Amino acid sequence: MTRFASRYRRIARSLSHVELMRSSMEETFALTDADLLDKDGGRRFLDYYGDEGIAVALERYGLYDAIRRRGWDDFTIQTHAVDERHTLLVDGHTSDGGTGRLLELVVRRDRLRVDGFDRTWEVLTIDWLGLRNPRARFTAERMRLPGQDTPGLGVGERVLELLYRVVDRLGLDGLLTVAEYFHNAVLYSRELVYVDPWYRAQLLALEALLFEREALGFAEAAWAVHWGHVRGPDDAALAWRGEAMVHAREPTLHAHLTARAHAERAEELASHLRYTLARSEHDERWSRERDALVGDPPA
């Protein structure tokens, strides 16, 4: 549960279906099955949200205000769908005439199967989420992380809570994502749980190595994994592989993922994992490349 949970639940109750389904392409007074299509033949976002409805929601939830505090305004929204994948793009403008892509979201409805259960759950899967602040610069306190071309917007927790509200609105069983990078998994693990306890164990073991025993900062730990400086028991470089992490809404799935037995299994597995940091190799590269992670990224 994020710190925005209670507030966003109250706001969600104040937003009607008609408000959220409204599209700039049509007047939405009497909704029918045909209204799932805009006049140009395009589908609504997740076959539900109109572009005007999305704008109303982002304003009402305070996301636009949070982005305005970063120097952006005059937002434009684009959505499109290809088969089951739905894309939401938000661009913004600055007072000096600048423009930039601030949010990129690609999601789809998916089915989740969990070992030990003879059923599946319908989830909203995040295929891609990018939150960017093109007018900001990387600093010593907020260094560039693997995969970043600009600093983030600092609104990730808000966006995650908004996606929980989407899951509730559409009556889905949970939210699922796969962390592309180690640092993404660290952040997501505050809210989402690995379906497979082995990968939860791996994350626990890596956090213990990098943050506790080696006392690395967040950015340095992220690059240590990305550069292949973390070694397994055979001294082979760890190749990071993301796996399904879920925030469950449906009671049976939620109970399974949050059960003490699930956590204890991960802790037991973590106690047998032996990772090491190639410290001298890492220190040498970190010293050589650290300055390049501040300021503008290389072209």
Binning pLDDT at 50, 70 and 90, where does residue 28 land?
very low
- Consecutive H or E run containing 159: helix 156-170
Rounded CA-CA distance 199/191 in Å is: 15
Burial of 95 (0-12, 13-18, 19+ CB in 10 A): exposed
Q: What is residue 299's predicted lDDT score, i.e. its pLDDT?
A: 54
In a 13 Å sphere around the CA of 187, the CA atoms on its Cβ side amount to: 18
Backbone angles phi, psi at 195, to 5 degrees: -65, -45
- Consecutive H or E run containing 194: strand 193-194
Closest residue by Cα to residue 281 from 228, 232, 235: 228
pLDDT, one tens digit per residue, over 213-252 is 999 999 999 999 999 999 998 899 999 999 999 999 999 9
Q: What is residue 43's predicted lDDT score, i.e. its pLDDT?
A: 86
% residues pLDDT > 70 (the chain): 93
- The answer to whether the CB of 256 falls within 8 A of the CB of 173 is no
* Residue 151 pLDDT > 60: yes
In this structure, the strands spanning 85-93 and 73-82 are antiparallel
Rounded CA-CA distance 175/222 in Å is: 24
Q: What is residue 184's predicted lDDT score, i.e. its pLDDT?
A: 98
Q: What CA–CA distances, in Å, run from 288 to 2, 223, 281?
A: 38, 13, 11
Rounded CA-CA distance 279/209 in Å is: 12
Domain residues of the chain, as ranges? 5-293
% residues pLDDT > 90 (the chain): 89
Q: What is residue 295's predicted lDDT score, i.e. its pLDDT?
A: 76
Q: What is residue 252's predicted lDDT score, i.e. its pLDDT?
A: 98
Rounded CA-CA distance 105/156 in Å is: 12
The three-class DSSP label of residue 189 is coil
Mean pLDDT on 205-211 = 98
